Structure 1
Amino acid sequence: MSISSSLNAGVSGLNANANKLATISDNIANSQTYGYKRADVDFASMAVSDSRSPYTAGGGRWYTAGGVRTNAIWDIGAKGALASTANSTDLAITGRGMLPVTTVSSLGGDATTPSGSDFYLTSTGSFQPDAEGYLRTPSGLVLLGWEADLNGAIPAQPRDSAAGLVPVQLNRASFAALPTSTVTLDANLPATETQAGKAGAALPVNVEYFDNLGASQTLAMSFTPTVPAAGAPQTNTWTLAITDQASGLSGGTYELVFSDTPPTAGALASVTQTAAPAAPLTSAYNAATGEIALNLGNQPIMLAVGSTAPGGSQHLSQLSDTFSPVGVTKDGSPAGTFTGIEIDEKGLMRASYSTGFTRVIYQVPVVDVPNFNGLRVLDNQSFALSNASGSMFLWDAGSGPTGGIQGFAREQSTTDIANELTQLIQTQRAYSSNAKIIQTVDEMLQETTNLKR
């Protein structure tokens, strides 16, 4: 009977608007929740009658009310405004994409790659180190990233799976040292010392370097002029001797010849190895780069003295009569303790140490999927992959379609309070109207019952 279908339609309208009210309530309740994605309800009609139904004996067609049904939807792809914070590991995405995370409950004793069932996404998070050094949110989401090697380089990783991602654990970077790999020696050698009658005394230069364990060591170098016989012209030639004081072994000797002809007067003209280093040390001069490649057994150091190629770099010179070690520039740092961390827009996480140096320890990628609105919605503003979302791809932050990673920032809720209150009024009126339908049907049925009297 059509009047009965009207009653059912009214009931379905009440249920549908109750669902709508539930989403509005959730949206308003989470208007201050960082990373919250607004929920909504999609209303769809239900057809019970159709225009092809046969005519009845009365010469017309019956219409049966089908009512309404609803589907909950989340606008996960929408981005909230970014709010500044005072915590360097408060993270948000400046565009498309999400952060990879796992849960505290899924962690074992060591940092391990999360399984597919333990891999989740979030658009923002306030990450702080816990007692074990894991960067996690108060709700238990742990940040994932690719771990760097000891040189700060990120090994090649798969981009279409979580394999290679590990929980970010700062305890693994509590102490670190940076071994010296480059030394640049700028000095002027006195040209007059290569004249006849000079003493030919060696001019020493000691250079500190840091070994692989962060200990301070010394490269002892000396420049000895080649003094000609009486009456002979000056040689403009020096012998560079290198000794690694850590091992007490020679790093080789080199003959340095300087030009005395304009326009290159005073510049290096040639560098020739005259004695090989003691094993296991090795060394060799590269004229193009102007560097002596030293290998101190298990630590390579590039010693820049100057190029003999036209237009090459100049570090050693031979002018006037004064020995002037202008300066020594080197990298490396002794062992230091962890003092802080920052993440740049490319997702590179740099640890700072008490000795003043920094190094990359992790890279946090940005996760992209074809359909963000197809992700499964979970607690704590986290999401999981699904068939509807499509397969993920891990991008370097800021590359491809993805946005960069912003530290000192959180993404705010996508709830618009004014819009929600407007929809609240509309939903209330729609609910009341559906209740009126039920009341009217009840009165009509009562009239039908009264016909019996």
Structure 2
Amino acid sequence: MSLFGAMTSGVSGLVAQSSAMGAISDNITNVNTVGYKNVKTDFQSLVTKQTSVTFYSAGGVQAKPKQLNDVQGLLQATTSQTDMGVSGSGYFVVNEASRPTINNQFLFTRAGSFFQDEEGFLRNTAGLYLQGWPTDPAGNVVLPQGSGAGLVNQNIISTDFLQSINLIRVGGTASETSRISMGANLPATDAIGDSHKVDIQFFDTLGVTNDVSFQFTKAGPNQWDLTVEPPRGTSVLTLYDDAGDVYKSIGQLQFTGRPNAASTFTINGADFTFVDAATDVAARQIDRRDGRTLAQIVGDLTTVVNDAFPGVAAPKLGNATTLLLTGGGADLAVTGLANLTTGAPAVPGTVQTAAFTVERRTATAPAITFNAQGVPANFGVSAMAVLGFANGASDIDEVDLTGDGNIDVNRMVLDFGNVGEGNGMTQFGAEFTPTFIQQNGARFGVFAGVTIGEDGLMTALFDNGEIRPIFKIPVATFVNPNGLESRTGNVWNATQASGDPTLRVADNGPAGQVVQAALEASTVDIGEEFTNMIMVQRAYSAATRIISTADDMLEELVRIKR
């Protein structure tokens, strides 16, 4: 009967408007919820198939709520370095577990209010953990530790490729010096043999500072030589030219005490022995008897070594207990240092305990040659290697530390400026004047914070000024983001309507940018919601009038019988 149909239609109106009111109430209560997307309620008609052209069968209305996930919310600045927002399309990938397994579901959110919890993981207020790709120090994506995958895959959401971001595991770091830049004026009026010294510090792979002196000596008109002695606690320092030829190589033996009787070491197969007798140059025996100072013993050793290998040995200037060995026409292989002891019980007699080789000179050009305008015409020195660190640091000399075939520690580049330009070393008629000294590298530093780029690259900051990439935050995009299913905690999961997620590098293709220290505000407009509330209230009241009017008509119909 049409009257009952009218009442049913009115009831559907009440139900539809109640649903709309529920959506409005959710929107208003989430006006301050980070990353919340407002729900819009559309309506569609319910039509009853008409069986007569003269009689109408009432249908009704249905509510169709729709969450507007593709609407960008306003990005608001915050003071937290771990707050993040997405500017554009895409979602952060999160997981309910800090150490996800195949049983833990990956979810998606725009709520980037992440903070570091007690275990160091980044999670948001809903307790969900931010996922990212781990990277190597160069920023390249790598597999997580323990992954069973063979190759990196940035398109699959899996525990084989993603891991929960943990900042407490970011250890301190130190970096070795790889470049030294220097500028100075060498006096054009100097006589041949005049020299000038510049003291420089560099960092080894453990972040320890080492002191060296660059001594420039005039070798001829417009020509200068360079001497750099190895720093304390190292074995050899070698200077190279652009072609990799040896310009100068200097080794050292730092004696720690008076050598024990019968202690020996070897240079190029020749044994040198310390004895309780007068020094015998021909027998390569050095007097170490009581009453002699260590400086006297090293002085005799210098004489004996130079007799066997003319001109290679000299005591270190300012430290007569250290013997310097300079490579000349042949390499100098120093071995057998384990047999050189001092004291009782016997301990190593020199700081250097491992064998080392001082390389012969193969380069012939001066360290720096100037033209008539006082600017460099050629550089004969471009790199420096330091070997044999007693503190356990790696050699600074084209070293593969990991065995993967890639060089991890390079020789230090020496930058004295450009040929033909006065932007480094110069030679003019003025006093010796160092203008600048710069070197990279850093001492050990502790983790101090993170910075996040627009491409999602998370870089650790250390208090020594060093930086190191640690994670890359991916962005998941969907063909139909409005088809995602909403979950408690302001997160969504993929559905058949949304399509499968596609992982992308942020700020690439359709993926939006990651913005650090910003949060996406709710997309709710209070004014619009209150307006909608008034309209829903009026529509609800109108639907009740349909029911009351139909009820009155039914009552009149019942009265006919009376």
TM range (shorter): 0.7 to 0.9
The Cα offsets for residues 174-216 of structure 1, whole Å up to 9 and x where unpaired, read as 4222332222233344455563xx4x66x55443222333233
Correspondence for 2:411 among 301, 319, 326: 301
1:16 aligns with 2:16: yes
Give the corresponding residue for 2:325: none
- Are 2:143 and 1:162 aligned? no
- Give the root-mean-square deviation of aligned CA atoms: 3.4
Q: Distance in 2 between matches of 1:270 and 1:388?
A: 68
Is contact 1:258-1:318 (8 Å) kept? no
Structure 1 equivalent of residue 209 of structure 2: 216
CA deviation profile, 1:311-347 (whole Å, cap 9, x unmatched):
5795334444744443321211111122223324333
* CA-to-aligned-CA distance 1:252-276 (integer Å, 9 cap, x gap): 442425445434x441425279x99
- Hey, what does 2:177 align to over in structure 1? 180
Letter in 1 for 2:122: L
Give the aligned partner of residue 94 of structure 1.
87
Letter in 1 for 2:3: I
* Residues 146-181 of structure 1: CA deviation (Å, up to 9, x unaligned): 323234555596443234332221112242223322
Paired residues for 1:368-387 under 5 Å: 368-387=477-496
Written as runs of structure 1 = structure 2, the 5 A alignment for 1:12-411 is: 12-50=12-50, 53=51, 55=52, 60-103=53-96, 106-108=97-99, 118-155=105-142, 158-163=153-158, 164-191=161-188, 195=192, 198=193, 203-218=196-211, 221-226=214-219, 234=221, 236-241=223-228, 243=230, 245-252=232-239, 253-254=246-247, 255-256=365-366, 258-259=368-369, 261-263=371-373, 265-271=374-380, 294-295=397-398, 298=401, 299-306=409-416, 315-320=424-429, 322-411=431-520
Aligned length: 416
How far residue 26 of structure 1 moved from its aligned partner, in angstroms, is 0.7
Distance 2:397 2:197 in 1: 19
**d(CA) in 1 for partners of 2:131, 2:73:** 22
Q: Deviations over 1:336-376 (max 9, x none)?
A: 12222332433333333222333333232333222221112
Post-superposition CA distance 1:50-98 (Å, at most 9, x none): 4xx4x5xxxx543222222222210011122222322222222233333
Give the 3-state SS of the residue equivalent to 1:247 in structure 2: coil
In our comparison, the structure showing a higher alpha carbon Rg is: 2
Distance 1:334 1:245 in 2: 17
Is the CA contact (8 Å cut-off) linking 1:267 and 1:314 kept in structure 2? no
Distance 1:244 1:314, change over 3 A: farther
Tell me whether 325-334 or 439-448 shows the greater mean CA deviation. 439-448
Q: Quote the residue 2:357 is aligned against.
A: none
Deviation, structure 1 residue 446:
2.9
- Whether the 8 Å contact between 1:257 and 1:268 is mirrored in structure 2 is no
Counterpart secondary structure, 1:339:
strand
1:452 matched to 2:561? The reply is yes
Q: Percent identity?
A: 31
Structure 2: distance between partners of 1:322 and 1:367 = 64
Letter of the 1:370 partner, please give it.
V
1:105-131, Cα deviation, whole Å (9 max, x unpaired) = x122xxx6x759632222232221111
1:279, 1:358 → 2: CA distance?
26
Q: Classify 1:390/1:279 alpha carbon distance in 2 versus 1 (closer, same or farther; 3 Å).
A: same
TM-score w.r.t. the length of structure 1 is 0.79
Q: For 1:396-435, what aligned pairs fall within 5 Å after superposition?
A: 396-435=505-544
CA contact (8 A) 1:127 1:137 kept: yes
Q: 1 CA distance for matches of 2:472 and 2:119? A: 20
Q: Is the 8 A contact 2:84 2:113 kept in 1?
A: yes
- Does 1:5 pair with 2:5? yes
Q: Provide the C-alpha distance between the structure 1 equivalents of 2:423 and 2:125, rounded to a whole number of angstroms.
A: 56
Secondary structure at the counterpart of residue 36 of structure 1: coil
Q: Whole-Å Cα distance in 2 between the matches of residues 31 and 224 of structure 1? A: 75
In 2: Cα distance, 1:389 partner to 1:344 partner: 28
Q: Distance in 1 between matches of 2:381 and 2:125?
A: 63
Q: Name 2:290's counterpart in structure 1.
A: none
Is 2:95–2:104's contact at 8 Å kept on the other side of the alignment?
no
- C-alpha distance 81-357 of structure 1, shift in aligned 2 (>3 A): same
Alignment check: 8 A CA contact 2:375 2:420 kept: no
1:285-325: per-residue Cα shift (whole Å, max 9, x none)? xxxxxxxx9436752134133477x6579533444474444
Segments of structure 2 that go 5 or more residues without pairing to the other structure are 144-151, 240-245, 248-364, 390-395, 402-408
The equivalent residue for 1:288 is none
Q: Give the structure 2 partner of residue 284 of structure 1.
A: none
Where do 5+ consecutive residues of structure 1 fail to align?
Answer: 228-233, 282-292
TM-score, normalisation: structure 2:
0.65
Residue 289 of structure 1: aligned partner: none
1:88 corresponds to which letter in structure 2?
Q
The partner residue of 1:439 within 533, 548, 558 is 548
